[in-house]
């Protein structure tokens, strides 16, 4: 899979992309991630990429010309399955959408900044608009990081144990059950005996029961 992202501050992604699971995914060539700087596509000597918004409201807007030039240049290299804009008014991101996007080949993410991007770019180029929650961030890079991590870990071969992702919260519409590791007893608290029994059918039933009741107590909306 190839994921490109357009950013005013691509260096914000450097540390995130250089460690742990995403680092290994890139080393295995299962996932290619590029953070493309918008500034070189800016206008004039000062490479301007933003301007005041029409209507007199406060806040700067990323302009059409630099974004269009960057997008068109990238589209010459590959055909994108989705061009995604991270924004507060997009559809709310969830595991189901992560699963869908993980099956794509090429994604382009646009990271907004300040008050966002010119609406005409959304109309002409963007195929999918996504929000990671009902709050506002200073830029789309954090949202892009969320998408890249949640999508990347679903690509076969990225995780050492591919079945691990299948038991994550939300994969089956439920929160994950509680998990335990060694020692069996800590500070007077014990691992449930069923998990030590070796009876995989009973353990599976216990896990489902725990997941269901945890979801019912903490996120009943998911059961709908």
CATH number at residue 46: 3.40.1280.10
Choose the final residue of a domain: 97, 129, 152: 152
66 in the same domain as 113: yes
In tens, the pLDDT along 17-33 reads 999 999 999 999 999 99
Q: What are the backbone dihedrals phi and psi of residue 99, each rounded to the nearest 5 degrees, phi first?
A: -60, -45
pTM over 0.85, yes/no: yes
Residues 55-74: pLDDT tens digits? 988 899 999 999 999 999 99
82 and 109 both lie in a single domain: yes
pLDDT of residue 163: 58
CA distance 166 to 153: 11
Residue 132: the pLDDT is: 97
Domain count for the chain, please give it: 2
Report whether pLDDT(165) > 70. no
Q: Where in the sequence is the domain holding 108, given as residue range(s)?
A: 2-152
State the CATH number of the domain containing residue 178: 1.10.1270.20
| Structural domain includes residue 159 | no
pLDDT tens digits, one per residue of 3-22: 999 999 999 999 999 999 99
Note whether 41 and 132 are same-domain residues. yes
Percent pLDDT > 70 in the chain is 96
Residue 147 and residue 171 share a domain:
no
Mean pLDDT of 100-113: 97
Instruction: Quote the percentage of the chain above a pLDDT of 90.
Output: 89
Quickly tell me which residue has 């992560």 as its tokens: 98
pLDDT band at 205 (very low <50, low <70, confident <90, very high): very high
In a domain, 142, yes or no: yes
Give the mean pLDDT of 35-50: 97
Residue 128 lies in a domain: yes
Q: Are residues 143 and 174 in the same domain?
A: no
Q: Please check whether residues 184 and 81 belong to one and the same domain.
A: no
**pLDDT (mean) for 168-176:** 80
Q: Report yes or no on 158 lying in a domain.
A: no
CB 84 within 8 A of CB 107: yes
Q: Report strand pairing: 2-7 vs 106-111.
A: parallel
């Amino acid at each position: 899979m190839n994921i490109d992202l357009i950013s005013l501050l691509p260096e914000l992604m450097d540390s995130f992309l250089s460690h742990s699971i995403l680092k290994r995914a890139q080393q295995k060539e299962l996932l290619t991630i590029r953070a493309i700087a918008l500034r070189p596509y800016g206008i004039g000597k000062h490479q301007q990429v933003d301007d005041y918004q029409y209507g007199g409201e406060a806040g700067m807007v990323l302009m059409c010309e630099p974004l269009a030039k960057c997008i068109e240049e990238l589209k010459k290299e590959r055909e994108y399955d989705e061009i995604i804009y991270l924004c507060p008014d997009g559809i709310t991101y969830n595991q189901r959408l992560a699963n869908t996007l993980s099956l794509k080949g090429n994604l382009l993410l646009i990271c907004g900044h300040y008050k966002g991007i010119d609406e005409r770019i959304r109309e002409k180029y963007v195929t999918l608009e996504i929000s990671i929650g009902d709050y506002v961030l200073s830029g789309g890079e954090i949202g892009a990081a969320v998408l890249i991590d949640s999508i990347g870990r679903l690509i076969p071969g990225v995780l050492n144990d591919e079945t691990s992702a299948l038991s994550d919260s939300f994969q089956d519409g439920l929160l994950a059950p509680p998990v335990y590791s060694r020692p069996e007893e800590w500070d007077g608290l014990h691992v449930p005996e069923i998990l030590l029994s070796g009876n995989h059918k009973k353990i599976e039933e216990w896990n489902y029961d725990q997941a269901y009741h945890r979801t019912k107590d903490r996120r009943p909306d998911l059961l709908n």
